[in-house]
Structure 1
């Protein structure tokens, strides 16, 4: 058993080193699973006995322990058919508690597959009206979303109640380190695009500007975070 476990871990670590990031093409390759942490080591663990996860994919810096309820976004390796969590959210008491009128409501994690003027798509068939979003956060392809939903009676269509970024954090006084047309990078590792960026009406980011940002978990070409809001602290003149 230990030999098998070491083989699985080596496979994932080699893959992480060679890929450098997660590749997401569509949610049909991903599945949102609710479960319980059943095994735990310092750097990794297992959900429901069968789903591997690395501690680095747990969001919010929440403590992990055996028996904790979680929601995981899971992919299956096409060659080995091993299940691996790409994002894990620890459920709090607030998340687990439901009112009698809300017993049919569930939480899931999904990834934005495409964006149009009017809709945010989480699969080819399922979309969220763009008008539900306002303020700092406008979803972009690759963003991870936490969705509160229920299933309509008699079919499998999702009735979506609320949508939010899976993880969001504010970072102060970081530098715009790269600009390439309508896209750029902050602090060398956080992607942004002017097509989905909340900022001051007249402000356009420039190289070496010092800015405050709001960042969400997102899978982009070479990055795992995306800036959704940016406000200048000091601009290069």
Structure 2
């Protein structure tokens, strides 16, 4: 009976999410929450965490194969129509970047989404932020970027102390094309977002349509994209 209810919930949620996507409704980054849990069931194209959180296979970071019983970190939102929790990103705990495991008692890990960035601070909610200088990446974070945060809590309070921050996932791509330019924003291969407001480039270079480039990308929640280019280098081609 429980399995049937989970299947019905997944069916209607996938249909509603598809309708919402077609209407291009923006995601509210401030309403995401990080959950550490266990994969409790798996089907062909979806699964459940802690028997209550639905996820589709295409949100698994690095496409790491999951099994029932795998410990995971998930960034979770709530469907506005069904109010069923749904993971927008799932990362296996045994697939964390080297050195990111908490080494001290009382420290935990979570996935956070950047909600805004100022000249000095990076916000992961309206109340929670960390100084920009703490960021271990060689680039400036941008709204929508997904981060792996190591933190601890003060006993008896809801205040958290952030100890380290890094990109949730990165990938390097060689000889790809700049496929669109719109003001200070653009796309690579029609699937990777970039903005000149947060893009490391060689001095004097500005991306042009159809340029061939090498890029470093991070996982990020952008309109119709799940990756953002943070570094771009033009590739010299022979005439």
CA 1:80/1:66 → structure 2, altered by over 3 Å: closer, same or farther? same
TM-score (norm. length: structure 2):
0.89
Q: Which residue of 2 aligns with 1:144?
A: 146
The farther-off stretch of 136-145 and 148-157 is 148-157
What do residues 80-122 of structure 1 show as CA deviations (whole Å, max 9, x unaligned)?
A: 22111111010018789654xx120000011111111111111
Q: Which residue of 1 aligns with 2:11?
A: 10
Between the aligned partners of 2:46 and 2:95, the Cα distance in structure 1 is: 23
Runs of at least 5 residues in structure 2 that lack an aligned partner in the other structure: none
Between the aligned partners of 2:208 and 2:101, the Cα distance in structure 1 is: 46
Tell me by how many angstroms 1:234 deviates.
3.3
Q: Which residue of 1 aligns with 2:34?
A: 32
CA 1:97/1:117 → structure 2, altered by over 3 Å: closer, same or farther? closer
1:206 and 1:235 in contact (8 A); partners too = no
Q: Which residue of 2 aligns with 1:204?
A: 206
CA 1:22/1:152 → structure 2, altered by over 3 Å: closer, same or farther? farther
Q: Which residue of 2 aligns with 1:43?
A: 45
TM-score (norm. length: structure 1):
0.89
Which aligned pairs between 1:44-193 and structure 2 lie closer than 5 A? 44-92=46-94, 99=103, 102-133=104-135, 136-193=138-195
What do residues 190-226 of structure 1 show as CA deviations (whole Å, max 9, x unaligned)?
A: 1100000012122111111100111111122332211
Between the aligned partners of 1:129 and 1:83, the Cα distance in structure 2 is: 31
Q: Which residue of 1 aligns with 2:221?
A: 219
SS at 1:92 equivalent? helix
Between the aligned partners of 2:177 and 2:96, the Cα distance in structure 1 is: 36
Tell me by how many angstroms 1:130 deviates.
1.1
SS at 2:10 equivalent? helix
What do residues 133-167 of structure 1 show as CA deviations (whole Å, max 9, x unaligned)?
A: 36633210011111011112342222111111111
Tell me by how many angstroms 1:231 deviates.
0.7
1:44 and 1:54 in contact (8 A); partners too = yes
2:34 and 2:73 in contact (8 A); partners too = yes
What is the count of residue pairs matched by the alignment?
Answer: 234
Root mean square deviation, CA, Å? 2.4
1:208 and 1:236 in contact (8 A); partners too = no
Runs of at least 5 residues in structure 1 that lack an aligned partner in the other structure: none
What do residues 17-41 of structure 1 show as CA deviations (whole Å, max 9, x unaligned)?
A: 33057843232x2211111111111
